[in-house]
Structure 1
């Protein structure tokens, strides 16, 4: 009889050892379906508020100066998100004196920063491409464009203004407004 007890104890110990060393059974899993929404953002443009002092020149001279950083931010999140940034100006005046907006040329230059996919194209890449400013939103000149890509994009540039001071201009500090817009 003693042998049987030892055999049962030995079998019991073996089963206990198997139970302790056996891997634990996996607990049931629980899935949670999660959703979120990407909402349409906006298309915005910023430019220096000014006043920006371009410098000085005598009648018949030329003033060349950068305006400051202009930036477009497109967070509309479309499958394609094209945009066109354009620019126009008012006449520049002091008292009853005027230097017409057409005496001011604009060139965007290349990007100073960008993000997002697609193609960014300068309206006027070099000084040789400079164009006279127009006087209305309807005839504004192209500063920069974006095409292709998906989702959002940003672009920044520092345009240069070239003022051809008319020979008939009189002494004074002329003030006007350069307006950038994006659509």
Structure 2
């Protein structure tokens, strides 16, 4: 009886080792190996910007200037040589009765803080109704971020009429 139990156990062990998908050492000194796989997920390229900004006030012929709040690019695409470009454009400023052209304003990027691997280049611009490059990221590896707090300055023309002026700063990333 004991021999039958030992034989059955040995046969079960041989069957378990001979199953497809199991690695066996064929000769002494050969170590069996296991192939291990996994997936690194990737996400999107996004830009977050402040919803609104108040620059302050000033008289005709002066400049009104303030940081508008943090702008952040998040690149979760997990690429090996990622690049992206942020552009900015501005509508003309209006108080309902009078306008100040967008070209009377500037956008100064300031310092950029990054995480991950990315090389960032900045360009200060005179704003206009057309999109212009303000920040570029190149050589990105894996996930990375870049954050800056740009300063917008409006040179108020000497002929400006008093009132609350509003314009729309549009920033985008591609």
Aligned equivalents of 1:152, 1:160: Cα separation in 2 = 27
| Partner residue, 1:149 | 140
Query: How many correspondences in the alignment?
Result: 144
Q: Give the one of 145, 170, 173 matched to 2:161.
A: 170
4+ residue segments displaced more than 2 Å: 30-36
Q: Which has the higher strand share?
A: 2
User: How far 1:152 sits from its partner (Å)?
Assistant: 1.7
| Partner residue, 2:128 | 134
Aligned equivalents of 1:176, 1:149: Cα separation in 2 = 33
| Partner residue, 1:46 | 48
Unaligned runs of 5+ in 1: 1-29, 125-130
Q: Which has the higher helix share?
A: 1
1:77 aligns with 2:68: no
Larger C-alpha radius of gyration, 1 or 2?
1
1:35 aligns with 2:29: no
Aligned equivalents of 2:37, 2:98: Cα separation in 1 = 62
User: How far 1:179 sits from its partner (Å)?
Assistant: 1.1
Deviations 1:132-165 (Å, cap 9, x if unpaired)?
Answer: 10203xxx22221111131121000010111000
| Partner residue, 2:92 | 91
Q: TM-score, normalised by structure 1?
A: 0.73
Q: TM-score, normalised by structure 2?
A: 0.76
Aligned equivalents of 1:133, 1:74: Cα separation in 2 = 25
Quick check: 1:81–1:152 contact (8 Å CA) kept in 2? Answer: no
For the aligned residues, what is the CA RMSD?
Answer: 1.8
